[in-house]
Structures are given as C-alpha cells and as structure tokens.
Structure 1
Amino acid sequence: MATHIDAKGIRLSHAYDGPLDVLFGGHRVWSFTTARDAVKAGGGLFVEWPKPLAARLEGQADVTLVPHNGGDPLFSGPIRFGDSTVPLLLVDDLGNPLSLDKGGRLQRTFDDFADESRAELVAATRRVLDDLTHACGLDAYLCYGGLLGAARSGRMIGHDSDLDLGFLSRYTHPFDIIQETRAAERTMASLGWQVVRMSAANFKIWVPLPSGKRAGVDVFGSFHINDHFHITGSLRGRLDRDAIVPFGEIELEGVTFPAPADLERFLEFTYGPGWRVPDPAFHFDHPPANVRRMSHWFRGARNRLPHWQEFYQGPHRRVPAGPSAFVTWAEERMEPGSPVVELGAGTGRDAVWLIQHGHHVLTSDYCAGARKATIASAEAAGVYAPYRPTNLESLKSSLVSATRIAHEPEPRHIYARGVIDAIAPTGRLGLWQFCRVAGRRGGLTFLEFRTPASRGLPTFFGDHPRTYADPDAVVEEIARHGGTVVERVEGRGLARLGQEDPVVCRLVVSWRKGTS
C-alpha cells in the first residue's frame, strides 16, 4: 500500500523509525512519529491531522512527507483539501509561515525567524536573565529548548518557538517556592517587562520583535523537595544539586548564558538519553502521578474545561431561565435571608432565584464563560450577583476561597447542583476541603448529582464527559473529611429537563463538629 494523504489524514503501509516531517510547499508544518501518533487501519497505519491544523486545511498545496533525519520522501505531490482550488497558505496576519509546535499550537518557529529577530530575542532573553539574577536575586540559567539547541549546535532549535530560563530555588516547600515566584513576577513587571503568570511556579515574559510580532521567554521554577529534583511543568526525578550548581557557561547564537554544571546529566534528565538526536515530534510523556503532584502544588488541574468553554459559546442558551427543582427544595431548608455560596453557578439561574428570595449569594465557577453567563442572567433580572472564581481541582484555589468565606461575619450555606457530575473524580478532594473549611462554623452543604443508575439514559445536552458518582462512596468521602449527612434523597423525577429524567442523589451535609 502506497502512502496516501487526504483531508482526513495520512495512511502508511508500515511503521517508520524516527520523526516524519509534513511539508506544504517546502515548508515544514508538522512532525509526527508512527509509534506515538498512528493507529492500525485497513492493513496499514493511519495518522489523523491534529485539530488546529485540520481546521486550516482548505485549498491546494504541494505536500511532501519525508523522514526528518534524512531519507527519500514517502510522498510528494499536489493535494486538494476540500472544494477550494486556491493555494493553501498556513501563515499569520503578517504573512509569516506557521508550524505546529510541541504544544499543539500553530506558531511561527525559529526556522522562519529573520536573523535580526533571532538576535533580538536572544539578547532580550539575556536581559531577562540578568534582571532575574540581579533584581530578583534568583539563580537563573538557560534550560529546556534553548539549552538543548546551545548544546547541540550553539543555535536555537529550528522547530522551537520560544526560549526558556529556569531558576534554582533555595526553598524546599511549595508554599515558599510560590512566594518566591510571585515576588519575581512583581519585580519583573515593575522593571517594565510584560509578565503573564502560567502557574504559581512559572511565568512568561513577552518580548517584542522587529517584525512587529512577539516571542515568549518562559521562566520555570526548579527545586529539590526531599531527594527529588523538579522543574515546572512536570519533570521530576533524581538529580543531585551538584549537577546544576555551580553554573557553567554556554553560548547560544553568540551570547553567553549560565548553564547547569553537568550539562549531559541535566539534558538526559530533561529529554532522556537520546537528547543529541533532533526530534521535532518530541513530546514530554510525564507520568500521571508527576502531573497530579505539580498540579496540586502549583496550577490545579482543569479537567473538562474545553467542554465547558465550548458549552458557554452557545449551547448554554438552551438552559431554562427559571430556577431548578433542586434550588426550591434546598431553599426550604435554609433560614430566611441566609447567605449562600454557589459552586458551579453555570448560567446563574439558581443564584438569581435565591437573590430574588432574599438571600445574599456569592457565585463561583472555574469557567470564564460561566461567569459571563451568570452576570448576564443577573443583569437581566435586575439583581447583583458577586462572582469569585474557584477551581475545585486546585487545592490552593479551593482552600484560599474557602478560608475567605470562613472569615466572613456570618456562615454561608454551600449550594452545589451538578458539580460532582461536572468535575473529574479527583476534583472531589478540593470540593470536600472547600466545604470542610467554609462550613466548619455553620451553614449546610446542599449537593445534587447523577448516580450510576443514570448511565445510558437520555440526556438533554447529549454525550459529554460526566461523572456518575456512587452515593455511598460520596457519603463515605464526606465522613472521612469530617462531614455528616443529615438528609439523603434518591430517585427519578427530581431533575427533569426535557426528555431527560436522571436518577439523582440529593444530600444535605453539616460540617460542624458534634452534628448527628
């Protein structure tokens, strides 16, 4: 079977060693490996176009598929994508060619940077490093792709799209590392740099380029906790401090940077033993436990956020404007005028109804689209619904928000309809921590969620990621975190929406000691 390329993807007769480059008009737009990206299909292999690239495939292009590290093309010829015959150009608004980077984004990579843009970015990166060192007091050094390119050839890697610096923290506790990073962000911003926080332990600095575009310099915290070395994003393993300091020196595009003391050990820690071989299809394959650990410490996971972002771009308008059956049931169990915090406020319809019935309601969600929908609902009803973002999949976000509520003059009830359905099971830890802290002085927690008996039943909004939590398991988790279930109801007919009539569980929980 010959190699075949069409609008759906790439079909190959067999697997190939090493990365393969896809070129449009002689320009590399994407690289992949059959080992990671291909699936078996029709006696051969099939590789689907990545979504960001597939969305731009309309028109005609001369396509070449060739091994990255040398060899004859596997395919070369014109391909028509869709119905259009106009030339297919993958360019930005200034006409610069774009390629899919390691993060899955269409970016302008260093292959296509003019010499003056390369020089300006490297010089600016050195100025960033100097400010991190002298103004922020950090031990900063070149890392990730910039260090890899410097070690291989002294030049930036052609398929990369930003430069990376690290700083070696003097601290060994996540809280201290967060404070250190925040202080550096403030200092860099005060010096005039455009700073964007990426997590609690790394940030990005945008650098303007002569082309009129900009490029990023990413600053990553690195640190030892116990006997493991960590670098944000999610690298973790054994690497002694003497492999990093005292720093040596390395040149990148003719500019000297501090570099880890044992360059080979550091790059093998980062990229593995094959770090010397160029691989534009490289992706980090972090163990899930490492990702969870770093997420809890510094960023918080946001599972299912893409679904909810898409939901609040239009489908949410099908949600009824009136209150849910659950909010009227819960309100009967609240004191008149008592304050409430709603987790997962969604469109804000229940919050608006509670406000109209005399309750002060603080709304919360982790999706920006939900915030806009809640504000719009409140404005349409002529009421005020204050909003505070809370990500229950981040222990930091959960505990900070809960602590603020715990210090308010009057306890709040906690209202969470559909939250257990919407978050991944790992997010329930943040939910219970929030409820335990916010509810320890009083107030009740009202929960409604679908049970496993709902799986396979018709749904109003079709298939999307849902959690069907076992009520007994939820009750056990609540008890383990110090809560007491004071009322429990299960069944159908409680949460009808159109033809959907799920089996739901309603729980009323107290977090005060001595509740029975």
Structure 2
Amino acid sequence: MQHIVQVLPVVDGVVYQVADAACRIISVRFAGRRVWSFQERAEAAPAGVGADLAVDAAGDHGLVRFQPWPDALREHLTGTTEVGLVAEAARAGARPDAEVAAPFSPDGSPEPLEVTDLHGRRMVVNKWGRLGHAIVDAPPGMVDRMLDSTDRVRALVQGVLGDRVYVTGGTLLGPVREGRLLPHDDDADLAYLSRHEHPLDVTLEAFELGRVLRAAGLQVLRLSVGHLQVVVDHEGAPDHYVDVFTGFLLDGVWHQPFAIRAPAREDELLPPRPLQVVDRVQPAPREPERMLVELFGEGWRVPDPAYTFDVPAPAVDRFYGWFADYHAEREDWDQEVLAGRTTASPARTDLSGFAAWVDRRTGVGRSLLDLGCGAGADARVWAARGRTVEALDYSRYAVDLARRSLLPGDPAPALRVLNLLDLRAVVRLGAELAARPDPWTVVGRRLLNAVEDRGRDNVWRLCGMLLRPDGDAHFDLVDGDAHPGVPDYRRLRLEQVVAEAAGHGLELVEAVPAHEPVRWFGRSDEPLVPMVRTTFRRRTT
C-alpha cells in the first residue's frame, strides 16, 4: 500500500497526507532529485497552512502531516520546481514507494529552482543539517578519484602502522548492505586501530600520521586529534575528501571518534578482511557487522538517508577531553562561501567601517595581521595602500575566494589558512611573525564572537607574542544580546573579554560604541547592530 497519499508544498514547509499512522523515512525530491530526507512525525500544520490539501477523511485516510523546510534550504527556495515525496523502505530488502509530487513556485518565478553551490554543483541537506554534496550527484570521474585518494591515504597510513587500517562509516555500510557506495553519502571513510593504548601515545601517533600525509603533498585538515580529513580539489573546485579516524583499545574498551565507545577485543577488528568497494578491494574490520552496529545501531540493515548520529554524552565528553575539537563551526563558515553568500569584489577600494577606524589609529610603518579576514576585502585594500598585510582565516574556501579576487600586478596581502583552535599552529605563527623586524598591529573584525573560549585564548596568546610596548590590537564585539542571530553560546560581554585579555598581559585602552551591519552564518538578514570597537595594548604595570 502506498504510504503517502498526496502532497502540498508551501512556503513554510511540506503538507502531506499519509495512508496510515507509521513512522517512516521520507525523502524530498526537487524535479526528481533527492535534496533532503526526514523522519515522519505527527506535527500539525500552522494555522492556515495546507488548507487547500484535499484531505480524504474517510477511514484511515485523514492523516495529515507537516514538515517545515530545514533552515539550510530556505534561502534556495526561489523559482519553480516539482516537489516529490517518497516513503523509503520500512524494512531490509523492501523497495521505496512511488513518488507523489506537486508543483511548487514559492516566489512565482518561472526560473528553475536549483540548489547549487558557488561552483554550480548540486547540493543536498546532509546528516548534519547543512548543505553538502551527495555521491549520486557527483560529476563523472569523481568516485574513481575519491577511491584513488582513499587508496593513497590508506597506503600512507599503512606505511606507518602496518596492516591496521580499514574502511568505516558509509564506506563500510554501503558495500556490506547494498554492494555499492551509498548514493546519499558524501565522502570516503577510513579508520585505524592504534598500536598504543594510552591516549597520550595515541595522540602523538595521530600527529605523526598528519605530518606523514602532509609531507606526501596532501591537503590535510585536522578536525580533532582523532580525526583527520584529506581534502582534494579538481579543476579549481572542491571535489571530495577522505576522513581518517583514530581508534584504540583501552582497558578492553574500543574508542573511535566520534561515535564508538564500547567493549571490544582486538581480534574482533584485526586483521582486516577484504571487502569489494566498487571496482577494487578495500580492507574491512574483521567483524564488519560489529562496527556497523556501533555506528548505526541494530537497524543498520534498513536504509535510512535521514540517519543522524546520537552519540551518548559520556562518549562526547570523553573524546572532547582527550582529543579536543579543532573543527567547531568551520563547516558553517565554509557554507557561507560555497553557497555564494560571501563575495569578494576586486574593484572595491574602500575599507569597512571598522577597518577604517583601525586604519586611522595605525602608523604607516606597521604591518597588519588580519585575523578572520573572510574573503579578504579589507586586507586587499590595505595592501593596495602599501601596507604589509598577513591575512588569515579559518575557512580554506574563504581564503581561496580571497586569492581568486586578487588582480594581477596589484600589491597583495599574504593569505593563508589558520585554525585558531590549534595551539600548535598559533604558537608556530606567533614565533614566525615575532621574528620579523617590523612592528605588528593585530586586527580582528567579527572575530571574537565567532570563536569559542579556546580560540579566544589563542587570540590573546598571539597578541601577547606579537605586540611590542607601543603596539595595538583592535577587535570589534557584539556585546551581549545586540544581534538576535548570534547564538547564545557566542554571546559575550565586554567585561568577559577584558578579563580574558588580562590573562595574557593585555589591557583595554579604548572602547568605542558603533553601529554596523552584521550577518551571522545561516542567516539571510544583515541587521544594523550595536557594536563595541576595542583597542588592547600590553599592560605597562
């Protein structure tokens, strides 16, 4: 029996009628292409929404459901398409229902409704609620390139650890359950079982692996001590990535960030067994089903494109305590760039309001360190005016956009990626810049609210390393509740920031109120917000 009877897409979400009261996984398609999946729930539509749905109230056919659009999709809902709903298979081996569809034109535009990124690649809402990419939408050759990268990364890790590496996550689930890669997956996943037991030794080994991968010329992002990501571009655009997860046994408990913390023996994991992945053989854990249960639960045999990880709080706390998190909200800021919400106009010759305020307070001979430079607009203008500028950002996509915006022959800032959550990278940068003869002015526009406490501590540490007795550091701050888009955990008070800076020998010498337009990630609005512009210097007493 067909589960979904009819569908009515509206501006706020999707109203649909089902034939029976069941908890099913529903996939949403735009013009036949899956863009999102969710778990059905009995949520009433807001007043007036879906009033035009021709509900058949006879028998069990009066069941109406409402699902709001996810925030990640909302600003892409322009144009015209056909919205289809498909009830996915409710048991292993079953087939999905037929699609039920209806036309949708939220703004009346006749242009096709497309969910694409800055490079024109199709996007879907992923398991983290953000827009990402799916293998099924990949351009020709991407899967082969991704598997080639997987082979290369695996060989490099095996060169250090031996035969202790295997596929995990979706790269294990798809071939075991379906004999193919999961069409809604977006990457390749590798894991290894460390040679060590103590977390400190495991950490040192993980850093060694990162150095080995970088020395081989790979572009490596560290998401935590126990999670590396090798990112690969193709023809000037992001193409794919390979995750590498650290695993180890401690007192009979298997730990593998970010989801596994369970009793296990080494002989349940090693030596690996061969597994056919597309057209090549990859190593799998000795008992693949054991890993799949730990990752995806007892129901792993039933396809669930809406699956989200529900990691127990003790496991989250343990992994964070041992391995930290170097990746907090990086993907959200990346998304601002990839979705085309961040621009970089080479023709711009004026500084932002905050940067102009800094410029008036900064001697001509001072070099500028622009932390959180985004697409580099201010850094580019400063460089064009003859200043020496080091411009750094958390998002590699923002830095790439800044580089592409540079005009040939024009003075350019030095652009690079810096993760302020990585103490090693911060200290390395501070030592490098402090060794230069020119004095530094540190600038952070929209920075302090955007980094968590560890990141701010590293900002102050960097200032302490670079500022000479007459040097300045300038930051603006959304103080308290001034911007409704700033999440609660990023709200700061000036008094808190002053106390943090004091811990590194810095004192506040100026705090000037101002109003500037501010947009936060995931928000389309850019309200005029009260700000505080601050200046810090070395404490003299």
Query: What's the TM-score, normalizing by structure 2?
Result: 0.66
Where does residue 34 of structure 1 map in the other structure?
Answer: 40
Question: Structure 2 counterpart of 1:4, which letter?
Answer: V
Alpha-carbon distance in structure 2 between the residues aligned to 1:375 and 1:313: 11
Question: Structure 1 counterpart of 2:505, which letter?
Answer: G
Contact 1:352 1:383 in 2 (8 A): no
Where does residue 134 of structure 2 map in the other structure?
Answer: 107
Contact 1:154 1:251 in 2 (8 A): no
Answer yes or no: is 1:386 the counterpart of 2:414: yes
Contact 1:34 1:47 in 2 (8 A): no
Where does residue 9 of structure 2 map in the other structure?
Answer: 6
Alpha-carbon distance in structure 2 between the residues aligned to 1:3 and 1:483: 65
Contact 1:362 1:387 in 2 (8 A): yes
Where does residue 21 of structure 1 map in the other structure?
Answer: 27
Answer yes or no: is 1:179 the counterpart of 2:208: yes
* Per-residue CA distance 1:475-496 (angstroms, 9 max, x = gap): 211223x3231x433454x667
Q: 1:68 aligns with which of 63, 67, 89?
A: 89
Answer yes or no: is 1:199 the counterpart of 2:229: no
Alpha-carbon distance in structure 2 between the residues aligned to 1:386 and 1:2: 58
Larger deviation: 96-105 or 430-439? 96-105
Contact 2:231 2:242 in 1 (8 A): yes
Q: Flag the 1:285–1:137 CA change in 2: closer, same or farther, 3 A.
A: same
Answer yes or no: is 1:249 the counterpart of 2:270: no
* Unaligned runs of at least 5 residues, structure 2: 48-63, 519-526
Contact 1:490 1:506 in 2 (8 A): yes
Contact 2:269 2:286 in 1 (8 A): yes
Where does residue 478 of structure 1 map in the other structure?
Answer: 501
Where does residue 283 of structure 2 map in the other structure?
Answer: 258
* Per-residue CA distance 1:222-259 (angstroms, 9 max, x = gap): 13396775545x33534546265432425436966433
Answer yes or no: is 1:223 the counterpart of 2:247: yes
Contact 1:5 1:11 in 2 (8 A): yes
Cα deviation for residue 312 of structure 1 reads 3.6
Contact 1:197 1:204 in 2 (8 A): yes
Alpha-carbon distance in structure 2 between the residues aligned to 1:126 and 1:417: 38
Alpha-carbon distance in structure 2 between the residues aligned to 1:100 and 1:497: 28
Alpha-carbon distance in structure 2 between the residues aligned to 1:291 and 1:464: 29
Cα deviation for residue 156 of structure 1 reads 4.2
Q: Secondary structure at the match of 1:444?
A: coil
Cα deviation for residue 383 of structure 1 reads 4.9
Query: What's the TM-score, normalizing by structure 1?
Result: 0.69
Where does residue 399 of structure 1 map in the other structure?
Answer: 427
Answer yes or no: is 1:326 the counterpart of 2:326: no
Alpha-carbon distance in structure 2 between the residues aligned to 1:122 and 1:303: 20
Larger deviation: 501-510 or 300-309? 300-309
Cα deviation for residue 13 of structure 1 reads 6.0
Where does residue 103 of structure 2 map in the other structure?
Answer: 80
Where does residue 195 of structure 2 map in the other structure?
Answer: 170
- 1:267-416 map, 5 Å: 267-286=292-311, 296=324, 298-299=326-327, 301-302=329-330, 305-306=333-334, 309=337, 310=340, 312-313=342-343, 320-321=350-351, 324=355, 326-327=357-358, 330-331=361-362, 337-345=365-373, 349=378, 360-367=388-395, 369=398, 383=411, 385-409=413-437, 412-416=440-444
Alpha-carbon distance in structure 2 between the residues aligned to 1:295 and 1:413: 33
Question: Over the residues paired in the alignment, what is the CA RMSD in angstroms?
Answer: 5.4
Question: Structure 1 counterpart of 2:502, which letter?
Answer: A
Larger deviation: 292-301 or 239-248? 292-301
Q: Flag the 1:501–1:328 CA change in 2: closer, same or farther, 3 A.
A: farther
* Per-residue CA distance 1:347-388 (angstroms, 9 max, x = gap): 5548856995x86443334455478669979989x6553334
Where does residue 538 of structure 2 map in the other structure?
Answer: 510
Contact 2:76 2:114 in 1 (8 A): no
Contact 1:25 1:62 in 2 (8 A): yes
Question: Structure 2 counterpart of 1:472, which letter?
Answer: E
Q: Flag the 1:153–1:122 CA change in 2: closer, same or farther, 3 A.
A: farther
Where does residue 444 of structure 1 map in the other structure?
Answer: 471
Q: Tell me how many residue pairs correspond in the alignment.
A: 479
Alpha-carbon distance in structure 1 between the residues aligned to 2:202 and 2:479: 40
Cα deviation for residue 299 of structure 1 reads 4.3
Question: Structure 1 counterpart of 2:361, which letter?
Answer: A
Q: Flag the 1:22–1:372 CA change in 2: closer, same or farther, 3 A.
A: closer
Q: Secondary structure at the match of 2:84?
A: strand
Alpha-carbon distance in structure 2 between the residues aligned to 1:337 and 1:442: 15
Q: Secondary structure at the match of 2:309?
A: coil
Q: Secondary structure at the match of 2:66?
A: strand
Contact 1:11 1:45 in 2 (8 A): yes
Alpha-carbon distance in structure 1 between the residues aligned to 2:95 and 2:356: 66
Alpha-carbon distance in structure 2 between the residues aligned to 1:125 and 1:378: 33
* Per-residue CA distance 1:131-158 (angstroms, 9 max, x = gap): 3466555421121123224444555445
Q: Secondary structure at the match of 1:109?
A: helix
Q: Flag the 1:151–1:328 CA change in 2: closer, same or farther, 3 A.
A: closer
Q: Flag the 1:55–1:90 CA change in 2: closer, same or farther, 3 A.
A: closer
Q: Secondary structure at the match of 2:207?
A: helix
Alpha-carbon distance in structure 2 between the residues aligned to 1:373 and 1:430: 24
Cα deviation for residue 25 of structure 1 reads 7.8
Larger deviation: 250-259 or 401-410? 250-259
Cα deviation for residue 177 of structure 1 reads 0.9
Where does residue 145 of structure 1 map in the other structure?
Answer: 170
* Per-residue CA distance 1:62-113 (angstroms, 9 max, x = gap): 8343242269999854522326899999999xxx999766464353439x99
Q: Flag the 1:374–1:170 CA change in 2: closer, same or farther, 3 A.
A: same
Alpha-carbon distance in structure 2 between the residues aligned to 1:28 and 1:371: 29
Cα deviation for residue 220 of structure 1 reads 1.3
Q: Secondary structure at the match of 2:37?
A: strand
Alpha-carbon distance in structure 2 between the residues aligned to 1:146 and 1:184: 20
Percent identity for Structure 1 against Structure 2: 19
* Unaligned runs of at least 5 residues, structure 1: 190-194, 209-213, 457-462
Q: Flag the 1:226–1:379 CA change in 2: closer, same or farther, 3 A.
A: farther
Larger deviation: 271-280 or 406-415? 406-415
Q: Flag the 1:503–1:182 CA change in 2: closer, same or farther, 3 A.
A: closer
Q: Flag the 1:500–1:226 CA change in 2: closer, same or farther, 3 A.
A: same
Alpha-carbon distance in structure 1 between the residues aligned to 2:242 and 2:336: 28
Cα deviation for residue 408 of structure 1 reads 3.1
Cα deviation for residue 398 of structure 1 reads 2.8
